[in-house]
Amino acid sequence: MTLNVEKELSELKAKVGDIPGAENKLTMIVFSGDLDKQLAAMIIATGAAAMGMKVVLFFTFWGTAALRDPGKHVNGKNFMGKMFGMMLPKGRNKLKLSQMHMAGMGTAMLKGLMQKKNVASMDQLLDVAGQLAVKIYVCEMSMDLMGFKKEEMIDYPGLEICGVATMLSHAKESAIQFFI
Amino acid sequence: MTLNVEKELSELKAKVGDIPGAENKLTMIVFSGDLDKQLAAMIIATGAAAMGMKVVLFFTFWGTAALRDPGKHVNGKNFMGKMFGMMLPKGRNKLKLSQMHMAGMGTAMLKGLMQKKNVASMDQLLDVAGQLAVKIYVCEMSMDLMGFKKEEMIDYPGLEICGVATMLSHAKESAIQFFI
Amino acid sequence: MTLNVEKELSELKAKVGDIPGAENKLTMIVFSGDLDKQLAAMIIATGAAAMGMKVVLFFTFWGTAALRDPGKHVNGKNFMGKMFGMMLPKGRNKLKLSQMHMAGMGTAMLKGLMQKKNVASMDQLLDVAGQLAVKIYVCEMSMDLMGFKKEEMIDYPGLEICGVATMLSHAKESAIQFFI
């Protein structure tokens, strides 16, 4: 009888030990470079971190442009890198809304409203995220494609460049995943 | 021997009790106000509910505009609230496609096709969702930012205003999460 | 004592057996027909498959257009089917970027860069996906709405048409889900 119980117990242990998606963790792919979506991502990220969840963000494609530091200049870029550098918004304060941008009016209106209503700005959200140990990864392939270099990214504690496999291994362990 | 089994069993119980993402539940963030994405969200939501899943929707940002009732008028809005009220589509029947809108032609074409092919409209999908007890939350911060009031929202059984923490606590328990 | 252990063990077994989202599997809804998002979806899909995850893709709405084979012609379409057929991009090599398309320049620029940097094209990604047994479903309702027929879809091993319920039953079992 006891032997049987032990066998079942060890089978169950193996099964439980193997369950993916079982960590109190949120992994989010931040693909969009639109201001509204970046704000949504950071509000969700800081909210989850404040609730005690581990939070991992993976900035890719248009999203990477938001992490550029407008005060940093990088030399030695090739022609394509320079073109992407010019055409994409330089940092989080140059992002536009996905809708109703209206030549800047909608975007300015939202920023004004956010200030009035005490909704945190991208700067404040990144600051809080850093304090709450939200992990930020930047997609290696996107950086390479757009000719961005690590030296032109913002100073964020623990910011790392990684590939899609690192992101997926976090996502697999996470209770929540979003693609934004 | 038996003692050991009991210890292992209690450890395992604690671990299993703690597994997040383990409920037969779907949590969806409806961020987009585009007709095509709202339809996708409602088709997924009613499909999941029909399969016996608990379904929780969290309408935020542009998505909130779809839940306004065009027949309801609210007084006492400030200037910004009035502007957002005018500029955003008033309710689910004014939404446009994210692509191929073509000055209304594409959107009208899709609506005509849906009727012909017996695909449910937003009105019908919301009606079915209500009957299947799909829970609808509206994002408090978005309502506040856009100056929307609860009185101008549609009559939907159990519609509630909540913050991001409520959404996350549902998402964490859910087997499926989407950001649309 | 032993009896109690057995009871608890069987309760625990039932609970573990019932946990959704517990498979080493990724389910992705590919809603967007934008080149950048389709590339992201295929890079994530092939990356996950290479890591040993089961991968299920569900192409719906604008996403379905990417799976059309430009070399296949289908007769007997009605007027609406012909119109959608003409207005939507015919296959993966006609997709455009969601941003910075700039009358084809941005899209061509990205394709040129990808080639130079040895990033796989849509053709190569679909080829790898097929070899790694990534499962591709196409949404029945979208095919019906847009008047697409199975005969005009690409030759992909195991490509199947299915409804939202099939997608949801895969998503429910999956450790990771994304809506792209």
Q: Do A47 and B168 touch (CB under 8 A)?
A: yes
Tens digits of residue pLDDT in C8-42: 777 777 776 666 666 899 999 999 999 999 999 99
Name the more confident of B127 and B103: B127
When the pLDDT of each residue in chain B is averaged and rounded to a whole number, the result is 87
- Say if residue B2's pLDDT is above 60: no
Percent of chain C topping pLDDT 70 = 91
pLDDT one digit per residue (tens) for chain A, 180 residues = 456 777 877 777 777 666 666 689 999 999 999 999 999 999 999 999 999 999 999 999 999 988 999 888 787 777 777 777 777 888 888 888 887 666 666 788 788 888 888 888 899 999 999 999 999 999 999 999 888 999 999 999 999 999 999 999 999 999 999 999
| Contacting residues for A178 by C-beta, under 8 A, at least 6 apart | A26, A27, A28, A29, A41, A44, B29, B177, B178, B179, C178
Collect all residues of chain A within an 8 Å Cβ-Cβ radius of residue C176: 21, 168, 171-172, 174, 177
Q: pTM of the predicted model, to two decimals? A: 0.88
Tens digits of residue pLDDT in B56-87: 999 999 999 889 998 887 877 777 778 777 77
In the DSSP assignment, the letter for residue B51 is T
Highest mean pLDDT among B21-25, C61-65, C157-161 belongs to: C157-161
In the DSSP assignment, the letter for residue B102 is G
Residue C100: pLDDT band by 50, 70, 90 thresholds?
Answer: low
Tens digits of residue pLDDT in B30-49: 999 999 999 999 999 999 99
Chain A interface residues (partner B, CB cutoff 8 A): 2, 5-6, 9, 12-13, 16, 19, 21-24, 26, 36-37, 40, 43-44, 47-48, 50-51, 53, 98-100, 106, 109-110, 113-114, 117, 119, 175-180
> A48-81 in b/e burial notation, b at 16+ Cβ within 10 A?
bbeeebbbbbbbbbbbbbbbbeeeeebeebeebb
Q: Do C19 and A19 touch (CB under 8 A)?
A: yes
Which residue in the set A9, A19, A23 is minimally distant from B5, CB to CB?
A9
Residue B53's nearest CA partner among C171, A23, C136 is C171
Residue C101: pLDDT band by 50, 70, 90 thresholds?
Answer: low
Rounded to whole angstroms, how far apart are CA atoms B54 and B67?
21
Order of strands, sheet of A135-139, starting from the edge strand that comes earlier in the sequence: A160-162, A135-139, A54-59, A23-30, A174-179
Rounded to whole angstroms, how far apart are CA atoms B43 and B49?
10
Chain B interface residues (partner A, CB cutoff 8 A): 1-2, 5, 8-9, 12, 15-16, 18-22, 29, 31, 33, 60-62, 80, 83, 87-88, 141, 144-145, 163-165, 168-169, 171-172, 174, 177-179
Query: What is the reported pLDDT for B143?
Result: 92
Which residue in the set A19, A165, A177 is minimally distant from C177, CB to CB?
A177
